[in-house]
Structure 1
């Protein structure tokens, strides 16, 4: 009888220990889910602040698309927005090989890498291949590394009507690489396509960045004054 009671007691203790472990794990899981939900909610609010920054800048009657930063506030977020005309970038569709090479070298490419990716671009043109649909396709070209791609991406475009970048909207790196003159962007025509970079920061260290390229020629059935052609978070 005593043996049975002892065995029953051990069984009860074992079950209690197992339940405590399970409850501890459940409590940890609940805490983790709560933290994730809190982070997601705060991150979503920060992203919305970045989107609001874009809307506020686009609603202004006058802005200069040369990359200068505009400081704004939305709710409890600090927002910094910059606009840059695509006319200040190198147009991949018909840019000269020499300009492409010089830009690649300025972005850190070796002479061999620059030659490889420029030859690949020229081969596409000679073969009559369809133009790039998205800028990310450039990453697949020969000679392209992630480091080079990251440096080139802000300087190239699929939405320009110029053979060479407009110096008024070109970055310092572009002006130096192509030996472009320095010009004031105020009063210059930014064209129909601009890139908007919006960064939002809220109390608690929550940050969000949104980069979009928009056409100022909206779709016929759209209420927005612009049309998004590229979106990157």
Structure 2
């Protein structure tokens, strides 16, 4: 009888220990789910604040007086939306290298400035020339550059902000070129104040909310896409 009671007690203790482990695991899972839900909610709110930054920039560009304060050379404009701190900047596509007509030598120089080896940069320039001579369709999205033989993901990540599908210029406009671009192509340093940034702009909006939650949104927009259009701009590219 005593032996049976001992076995029963051990069984009860084993069941209690197993239940404790299960309840502990369940509590940990619930806590993890709560944290993930909180992060997702806060990140979504930060992203919405970044979208508000884009909207505020577009509102300013539609106002002739405010537009003069927004220089499309990357300088930041501090703004506030609800409880989020915003840093919004404009970049003109005219300061970038136009993929569909730029000299392949300039493409190679930019690749070198972005960390490519001499052999890698030369190969990329040749591949770009071969693509053009083959009569293939022009680049339609920036990501197509990633398909060039010899292009690595790391190099693409550094070059992507410097190349354009919409500038239409044979060489970047020095007034809107980044320091990296000016160095790569030996462009003169010019002020963007009072210069025409063109109709295609990149709006870079960064939002910071209390608690350290943040989000960034980069959108390429075409101003005044057509006469009679209901929208004052058209989104060409959207990057979160």
TM range (shorter): over 0.9
Partners of 2:121 and 2:225 in 1: CA distance: 37
The equivalent residue for 1:225 is 232
Q: How far apart are the structure 1 equivalents of 2:27 and 2:225?
A: 51
1:219 Cα offset (Å): 7.5
Q: Is 1:31 matched with 2:31?
A: yes
User: Counterpart in 2 of 1:210?
Assistant: 217
* CA offset digits 1:133-187 (Å, max 9, x no partner): 3212212212222332222111111111211111111112212222222222222
Aligned partner of residue 213 in structure 1, secondary structure: strand
Q: Which residue of 1 aligns with 2:13?
A: 13
Take 2:56 and 2:125, find their aligned partners in 1: how far apart are those partners? 39
Distance (whole Å) between structure 2 residues aligned to residue 172 and residue 10 of structure 1: 74
What secondary structure, in the 3-state scheme, does the structure 1 residue paired with 2:219 have?
strand
1:134 has 2:141 as partner: yes
Give structure 1 stretches of 5+ with no counterpart: none
Structure 1 length as normaliser, TM-score? 0.93
Q: Partner residue of 1:79? A: 86
Contact 1:219–1:227, Cα closer than 8 Å, also in 2: no
Provide the rounded CA distance (Å) in 2 between the counterparts of 1:224 and 1:18: 63
Aligned equivalents of 1:146 and 1:79: distance in 2? Answer: 29
Number of paired residues? 233
Correspondence for 1:187 among 185, 188, 194: 194
Aligned position for 1:43: 43
CA contact (8 A) 2:95 2:176 kept: yes
- With the length of structure 2 as denominator, give the TM-score of the two structures: 0.90
Report how far residue 225 of structure 1 moved.
2.3
The C-alpha deviation readout for 1:183-207, integer Å capped at 9, x for no partner, is 2222222222111111111121111
RMSD: 1.9
Q: What per-residue deviation string (whole Å, max 9, x for no partner) do you get for residues 3-33 of structure 1?
A: 3333222222221111111111111111111
Q: Is the 8 A contact 1:92 1:156 kept in 2?
A: yes
Q: In the alignment, does 2:77 pair up with 1:70?
A: yes
Deviation, 1:102, is 1.9
Distance of 1:38 and 1:205 partners within structure 2 = 13
Task: Using the TM superposition, name which of 172-181 and 112-121 deviates more.
Answer: 172-181
Gaps of 5+ in 2: none
CA distance 1:65–1:9, shift in 2 (3 Å): same
1: CA distance, partners of 2:171 / 2:207: 33
Q: Identify if the C-alpha distance between structure 1 residues 224 and 9 changes in structure 2 by more than 3 Å, giving closer, same or farther.
A: farther
Contact 2:96 2:172 in 1 (8 A): yes
In structure 2, C-alpha distance between the alignment counterparts of 1:216 and 1:134, rounded to whole Å: 19
